[in-house]
Every structure is written in C-alpha cells, then in structure tokens.
Amino acid sequence: MKIESYCIYSFPVRAKTDWLILELISQDKTAGYSEITMSNYEERTTLISYIKKCMSTLSGSELKNDLQVKMILEKGKENTLANNTSISGVRSACSDIFSKLQKLPMNIYLNKKMDIKNSDSIELYANINRSLLPNDEGPVDRSPNSFLMMAKKAKEAGFKNLKCAPFDGFNKEAYENKEFINLGLEKVSLISKELKNEMEVLVDCHSKFNFQESKFVEKKLNELGVEWFEEPMNPLSNLEELRALKKEINSNLVGGEEFYGVNNFNNLIKNNFLDIVMPDIKYCGGIEEALSIGLSLENISKNSFSIHCPSGPISLAGSAHVTSALNSMLPLEHAVFEIEDRYDYTHPNERIIGGKYILSSDFGIGVKPNFSKRNTRLLKEII
C-alpha cells in the first residue's frame, strides 16, 4: 500500500490532558490509527516535526509490512522520546492498515504464523493515577481517603489489581524535607489495610528516589504486601543502581516504559536490571515491535512483560491485541475513571466488563476515533 495523506487530531480529555491521534490514509482509502500522546506537552512541536519527517521519508514507497517500514524509518534514527514516539505511531498506524487489508483482527494478524489460541478478553489492572490529576475545575483531593475511595471504586468495577502513584503531587517543601515519603506510604497503607486479600496493589514511584531511599521505601511497601515496585529510579539514567537494588529487595522491580526496540528490552532482563519490563506501544516501536519484544522475552524470562498503557482507547486497543496475541500472563494497564464517557471516544464503543477488555472482532485494532467528540485537527498533509 501507499500512504496518500495523514492527519493529527487532539481530543481534549481532562484539564491539560488530551489524546493525540495519528490517522494515515492509504491510496485505497483505508485508514490506520495510533495514539502519539507524550507526557511532555512542551515537545509537541518537535513531535509533529518528526511525524512530518517520517511521512516524507515514506512518501511514494510501496509499503508491504512493518519490517520494511521499520527499516526505512530507523535509518539514521535519533534516540529521543519525540522521535521514538513518531516512528512508533507511524508504524502502529501502518500495522492497522496492513491488518485491515488482510481482513484480519489485529491479534490474528499478529500471531497468524504462531500456533497460539487468541483470547477475546484481556485482564486489566486499574491505574487510578489519571483520575487523581487536576480536572477541568482544578486540583482534586489526593488524601489517603481519596486514594482508598478510588481503589474501592476499581474493586467494585471488577478489577483485581490496582496501581497508584502515592508519591506524586506534593508541594516543593514536602519533597525537600522528604516528608512525601511517609505521606505516600500512608496512602498505600490505608488501601492495603482496607482491601487486604481483595486487591493486589502495584506502586509506581515515577523515579522519585535515590538508591538508599529506594531500599527503604521498597521494604516498607513489601511489608504492606506490595510486590510490584515500579521505577523508583529512572532506568534511562540509573541502570547500574537498579541492578544493585534488584539484588537487595524482595519485590519485582518494574519499568522501562520509555525504551525503544527489542534489543533494549532484552538488555533490561538479560542483564538483571529489571524483573518486569513495560513496553509502551506509543514509544517502543509500535504494535509489532511490542509483539517482538514479548516473543523475545519468552525465551529469556517468562512473566517479564506487561504493556504500559495509562493512555486513551486507541492505544489500549492496540495494546490489548498485542497482549492477546502473546497470551501474556500479566494484566494490561488501564487508566480508570479519568473521564466518565471514555467508552464513547471510539466506534465501536470501548468495552470493559468486570475488569476485562473485550476485543472487537473488526479488522485492524478494531476501533476508530469517534470524531463527533470535540477535537482539533492539528495537521493535515497530502503526500
């Protein structure tokens, strides 16, 4: 197929949050979609410029598969998050088109050469972080009771696993005097006490600690029953410290959401930097790269793969198809309660029942954006 045009759309969600969606249109008018949202909104102009560069590079090419697109776009690749996001987004949207042209749902397209039975539903874990960020009216309550309320809401919705970021959102003074550590632990302690034996609690630290603080916090969390210890330090800059930490803790050390490519994720597991890696299809190289990462890790360390996805419904759909194709044992991340009508942002509507994502049987990722929802077209180009 050849790409005829592309657009980038912004769907406002909550306060400063929006979902950035890339749309590719082939010459036969088949549309492919991916999410290209980055947490650093200041780099949006850079991201869009990289998208333009990717599309210019692909202009006029007869595209046959993801491997070909990968080889074209990775030639001379700059290893920045914005560039990795642009390449990942283009590759994912192309994969959506490739699977549609073959008239296959994405999970079948991904594993058509493997003797694996696909699941039509995917176990999710509830990430409550987005629901506790400022909304359109301003900051929201981040007290221990508020965390507990969201945890109970997730339990009532059928989720068996919960992720929180208890060390976020404090004022400058609390970080300087380290008061945020005990205040964050208090939030986890309350959830653990109230929901013991009912939900597994996963904790994302968002790289808030140094080595000694990481050891202290992990010990306290582990005593509360937490076995998922995510990014106490940044894997992009603290790999050796993480390897040393891994030897001294009982919890699973988790992370890697901003890495790109199979080799980097293999390195994280083979060299004992992390126990569980979290490729994000928005950054890791896209849907088919995420599949390759999962397949490669099966031969190194089973149960070491869980997709990072605190994102919108387009990203969750692609991530769910990868998880299905791999029959991954670990649950998939889902940002719960961010907005009430999230389900209505795609056609067909997003279906999450009893803590499980129900895959659409439509071709490709199975969903497309609902353009009747308020959105802004940031870019439209014909190539």
pLDDT at 299 over 90: no
Query: How many domains, the chain?
Result: 2
Give pLDDT tens digits for 264-278.
Answer: 999 999 999 999 999
Note whether 100 and 174 are same-domain residues: no
> Which residue did the predictor score with more confidence, 305 or 302?
305
Query: Is the separation of the CB atoms in 294 and 111 below 8 Å?
Result: no
What pLDDT is attached to residue 116?
Answer: 59
Note whether 340 and 375 are same-domain residues: no
| Tokens 């176990």 belong to residue | 123
Note whether 202 and 300 are same-domain residues: yes
What pLDDT is attached to residue 19?
Answer: 97
pLDDT at 114 over 70: no
**Once rounded to an integer, what is the mean pLDDT over residues 344-360?**
98
pLDDT at 113 over 60: no
- Position 223 confidence tier, pLDDT thresholds 50, 70, 90: very high
pLDDT at 335 over 80: yes
Note whether 39 and 182 are same-domain residues: no
pLDDT at 99 over 70: yes
Note whether 258 and 316 are same-domain residues: yes
**Once rounded to an integer, what is the mean pLDDT over residues 102-127?**
86
Give pLDDT tens digits for 172-213.
Answer: 999 999 999 999 999 999 999 999 889 999 999 999 999 999
Q: Which residues, other chains included, contact 303 with Cβ-Cβ below 8 Å and sequence gap of 6+? A: 276, 329, 330
Give pLDDT tens digits for 27-51.
Answer: 999 999 999 999 877 799 999 999 9
Across the beta sheet with 31-35, the strand order is: 31-35, 17-26, 3-14, 376-382
Note whether 129 and 258 are same-domain residues: yes
Note whether 273 and 296 are same-domain residues: yes
Mean of pLDDT over the chain: 96
pLDDT at 132 over 80: yes
The domain that holds 59 is classified in CATH as: 3.30.390.10
pLDDT at 288 over 80: yes
Note whether 332 and 375 are same-domain residues: no
Q: To 5 degrees, how large is the angle CA 306–CA 311–CA 315?
A: 75
Domain limits for position 66: 3-104+371-382
**Once rounded to an integer, what is the mean pLDDT over residues 321-328?**
93
| Tokens 């560069």 belong to residue | 53
What pLDDT is attached to residue 369?
Answer: 98
Query: Is the separation of the CB atoms in 362 and 109 below 8 Å?
Result: no
Two structure tokens written together for 153: 């809401």
Note whether 184 and 314 are same-domain residues: yes
The domain that holds 305 is classified in CATH as: 3.20.20.120
Helices (H), the chain: 44-58, 66-74, 81-101, 106-111, 144-156, 172-176, 179-194, 211-223, 239-246, 262-270, 287-298, 313-326
What pLDDT is attached to residue 115?
Answer: 57
Note whether 127 and 257 are same-domain residues: yes
Query: Count of residues for the chain?
Result: 383
Note whether 87 and 119 are same-domain residues: no
DSSP 3-state of 230: strand
pLDDT at 120 over 90: no
What pLDDT is attached to residue 379?
Answer: 93
What pLDDT is attached to residue 281?
Answer: 98
DSSP string, 249-314: -SSEEEE-TT--SHHHHHHHHHTTS-SEE---TTTSS-HHHHHHHHHHHHTT-TT-B-----S-HH
Note whether 91 and 127 are same-domain residues: no
Supply the DSSP symbol for 151. Answer: H
- Position 117 confidence tier, pLDDT thresholds 50, 70, 90: low
